[in-house]
Amino acid sequence: MESARRRTFAVISHPDAGKSTLTEALALHARVISEAGAVHGKAGRQGVVSDWLEMERARGISITSAALQFSYRDTVINLLDTPGHADFSEDTYRVLAAVDSAVMLLDAAKGLEPQTLKLFEVCRYRGIPVITFVNKWDRPGRDALALCDELVDRIGLRPMPLTWPVGVAGHFRGVLDVADGSFVRYERTAGGATVAPEERLSAERAEAEEGEDWQRAREEAELLAADGGEFDPAAFAAGTGTPVLFGAAVLNFGVRHLLDVLLELAPRPEPRVDVEGRARPLDAPFSAFVFKVQTGMDRAHRDQVAFARVCSGLFERGMVVTNATTGRPFATKYAQQVFGQQRSTVEQAYPGDVIGLVNASALRVGDTLYADKPPVRFPGLPSFAPAHFATARPVDLSRAKQFRRGVEQLESEGVVQVLRSDLRGDAVPVFAAVGPMQFDVAAHRLEHEFGCTVRLDRLPYHTVRKLGDPAQRPLIDAGHRSEVLTRTDGTELALFDDDMALRILQRRHPDLVLEPLLAEGG
């Protein structure tokens, strides 16, 4: 079955751990690009294939997820690179709804960082198996055993090393291949721009040539194995254990090992559960869900692309499918395979594949698409509790039409949540964001894609609840440090300056019905 040849995974980590660099290194080893676009240091960094927005190239960080599809051996890889900043967590969480496994990238010098911990908890919640890649071993860093102990102590994840570093961090000689006990030695290339040559040595030769470094690597790997660190497929699938590999993505060291492990161990696509709790068989008629909508990938056409994960059946370009949200038909005449910003027409796709549907203005994040009957609808994607709010106005009122069109576009993509109030009217929407950098992205795109410069005025609110009883709205609107705003889906959100303002109002009105906005769900 074609779905068995698919591996769909995301790369997740704290900012600056090297996600985009690893993404390119994987593509380089699969020989779908001839030279990596990453060089030492952010300041001298060229744009990597998965960083295509102008702001990403200027700031040297990923601020939007990107899809790359390519083949390696006889397997089709669907690799999703996630944003590198905590302000764009919402985008990352949507991506995690579309994958079957994840590569958790750790900085050898920093170990588990706050954003990594949050993302791992999402993987655990969703039952996504995690492979750990300890990156930047070419630089000074922490002890390998200490990093493994941290996985156990902080997140209860049993490390199961598949490779082990020969040489301390900053003095990277190669890796011990735990499976066969051999030594894989790497050779540097200029700037890490091409695949690093590898030389495989027997244990006897490695000991003769690497001496203490080799002996230490073997002793540490054996110590971890004796402590329950041998690879256990059941523990990996259950999310209680993680295969661990070591490398340096910027030099392309250890990347081939990771790619091979993904092919061998990463789970194949499985039946996805719909809103009724039924698992839809992979061989059922075509179905997919939209996890991302993006405009402006092609400056020449400024078209809109909806990224959809195929869940069942065969997708054929040109087929007319139904949008379960609206009940309306959607023609898939313009369907594409995506590789960062580069795109090519795709004729067919199978469960596990990510496809780009062009001219998708009728699609929104979370929509389910299906062909034939019976109808199917998959659970919606998370809409997170915002913590930052700002009113948005066009500087030039003659650009009001472009402003409205741009705001609708940003909302459909999930760049920001858009709220409206009776006090300000529809002409002055309120942008709501998980992190303040989302405002920068929204303003930049409104100016450069819609020709509309905007003024964003921050509001003082930082605490938000869902209003349970619409009849109680006047109680909140009458407050000095609170108001109610309405989301496009009709949800009424009660906003407060801070937790203290919320508690004061609740003391005055004990019967006030307010509900928390959960991390999962709309």
CATH topology classification for 7-66+76-88+97-265: Rossmann fold (3.40.50)
* Residue 84 labeled ligand binder: yes
- Non-local CB neighbours of 424 within 8 Å, separated by 6+ positions: 391, 430
- Residues 6 or more apart whose Cβ sits within 8 Å of residue 255: 22, 25, 26, 28, 29, 247, 249
Q: Annotation-wise, does 83 bind a ligand? A: yes
Closest by CA to 288, choosing from 400, 387, 368, 388, is 368
Q: Which residue has the tokens 């990923």?
A: 62
Q: Is 85 annotated as a binding residue?
A: yes
**pLDDT at residue 136 greater than cutoff 90:** yes
pLDDT of 517 higher than 80 = no
Domains 272-370 and 388-515 share a fold: no
What tokens appear for 477 in the block?
């609107």
CATH of domain 272-370: 2.40.30.10
The reply, when asked if residue 29 is annotated as ligand binding, is no
- Non-local CB neighbours of 233 within 8 Å, separated by 6+ positions: 265
388-515: CATH homologous superfamily? Answer: Peptide chain release factor 3, domain III (3.30.70.3280)
Residue 81 confidence (pLDDT) above 80 = no
Q: pTM value?
A: 0.79
Q: Output DSSP code: residue 326.
A: T
The ranges assigned to domains in the chain are: 7-66+76-88+97-265, 272-370, 388-515
- Residues contacting residue 389 through CB under 8 Å, at least 6 positions apart: 419, 430, 431, 432, 433, 458, 459, 461, 495
- The H or E element that residue 375 is part of is none
Cα–Cα separations (whole angstroms), residue 509 to 89, 302, 491, 512:
34, 50, 21, 6
Euclidean distance between the first and the last CA atom of the chain, given in angstroms as a whole number: 35
Q: How many CB atoms lie within 10 A of CB 478?
A: 10
For 203-255, what is each residue's pLDDT tens digit?
A: 999 999 999 999 999 999 999 988 888 999 999 999 999 999 999 999 999 99
Per-residue pLDDT tens over the stretch 50-77: 443 454 444 444 445 567 888 899 999 9
pLDDT for the residue numbered 293 = 84
Q: Is 425 annotated as a binding residue?
A: no
Place of tokens 């020449």: 300
Among all chains, which residue has been given the structure tokens 């990093």? Answer: 147
Q: Which of 68-72, 102-106, 342-346 has the least mean pLDDT? A: 342-346
pLDDT at residue 458, rounded to an integer? 95
Q: Report how far residue 309's alpha carbon sits from residue 366's, in angstroms, rounded to the nearest whole number.
A: 11
